Amino acid sequence: MPSEEKQILLRVIEHFIRTGSATDEQVKVTSLPDNKTSYVEQTGVDGRSIMLNEYNIEGKTVWAGYSTRSQTVYLSVKSKNYT
């Protein structure tokens, strides 16, 4: 993953962890249900799989992925009951 995408992801994740807000001024942010590790992004009649990576920040775990096509960050919180 290019460093610009990593910077976007980390900025959005850190903001989300600190504030609980899934928003960003530069990219679209979509919250997914807890414990999702992938998402199928619909692009017209086609779909595109977005694989989410696990990030541990400030003792909290979030799965997140970035779509360059739609410039969207997808976030899913890892719940405590998930193994």
**For position 43, what pLDDT does the model report?**
81
**For position 38, what pLDDT does the model report?**
96
**For position 52, what pLDDT does the model report?**
97
Looking at the structure of the chain, the number of domains it has is 1
Inside any domain, residue 83: no
> Which range of residues forms the domain containing residue 63?
3-77
Q: Residue holding tokens 């992801």?
A: 9
Q: What is the pLDDT of residues 11-54, one digit of tens each?
A: 999 999 999 899 999 999 999 999 999 999 998 888 999 999 99
Inside any domain, residue 70: yes
Inside any domain, residue 37: yes
**For position 79, what pLDDT does the model report?**
84
Rounded to 5°, angle at Cα 31 from 52 and 63: 25
**For position 45, what pLDDT does the model report?**
87
CA–CA gap between residue 61 and residue 3 (Å, rounded): 21
Q: Tell me the CA end-to-end span of the chain in Å, nearest whole number.
A: 27
